[in-house]
Amino acid sequence: MAIGMGARPGVQPLLLGLLAVGALVFVLAPWSFLDKLEALSAGVCRQRPDHSYFLGGAQLPLEARMGGIFAGFLAAMVWLWGTGRERAALLPPRSLQALLFAFIAWMCLDGTNALLYDTGGPALYHPPQNWLRLVTGLLCGVGLALLALPVLASVLWRQTDAEPSVGSLAELAGPLCIVALVQAATMSGLGWLLYPVASFTVAGLIASFAVGNAYAAVLIGRAERGANSWRQALNPLLAGVLITLVELAALAWLRYWSETTLGIQWPV
């Protein structure tokens, strides 16, 4: 049965109810807002102080590289929506695809180098720097979003736009300007930017996971190309968010259990 398409174009009440319960749990949890964001991120990031940035003396909930990846993903998503390309279903031209894959490869290279350095291996260059972790993470996130979001659009919308997510270097400057602002804000150390930067990175974490989960929800629900409007698209999108919240909670619990019961650091 299709997820909220066809005979039931409205948002499924069960989805709204479960998401409302999740939001209520988040609001009522007896921790500070920053602690709640840290808990949401705990299962995907080790949150090491020496790999992280601090704003106003408080550590961000995601390390520099991880925070960069998710913030870059959200920045590209915001740019696509802001420019009316949320239904763009074509991949970028091959030359830009190569550049976006190079962004991803650079992050992988820098991450591998940092791992080798941290474990005493033959690092290519050292010592690892948080500013470079953040730069490579942000660019990787932009690349992932501009390659992944057209794939989701192609299965979500009945009528897609026959245009690429980004068509030229001049257009790519748009999301790159957004991530440059994120880079500057993260490195500023300013306390009043703590909540905006922390919220943006964790929102990017949820958004990036939700894109993959929404894609799976569309396929499992056999609702390919079933949405004509945002109202019809909300069911798979909200399902993606709900699945993401369950995944993040499960990963956070797994980290807590593995560290307290088995003495194993998580994520490794």
**Residue numbers of the chain with a pLDDT score lower than 70:** 1-10, 266-268
Element at 94 (helix H, strand E) = helix 94-118
> What proportion of the chain, given as a percentage, has pLDDT over 70?
95
Residue 149: half-sphere exposure toward Cβ, Cα within 13 Å:
27
* Gap between the Cα atoms of 22 and 141, Å rounded: 26
H helix runs in 9-93, sequence order: 13-28, 33-41, 64-82
CA torsion 118→123→128→134, rounded to 10°? Answer: -100
Q: pLDDT (tens digit, 9 = 90+) per residue, 206-250?
A: 999 999 999 999 999 888 998 998 888 999 999 999 999 999 999
Angle at 153 between CA 251 and CA 207, to 5 degrees: 30
* Gap between the Cα atoms of 81 and 139, Å rounded: 18
What local confidence, expressed as pLDDT, does residue 7 receive?
A: 42
* Gap between the Cα atoms of 18 and 58, Å rounded: 32
Token output for 187? 């490195």
What local confidence, expressed as pLDDT, does residue 6 receive?
A: 40
What local confidence, expressed as pLDDT, does residue 5 receive?
A: 40
pLDDT mean across residues, the chain: 92
φ and ψ at residue 181, rounded to 5 degrees: -65, -40
Cβ burial of 220 (10 Å; 0-12, 13-18, 19+) is: exposed
* Gap between the Cα atoms of 239 and 50, Å rounded: 36
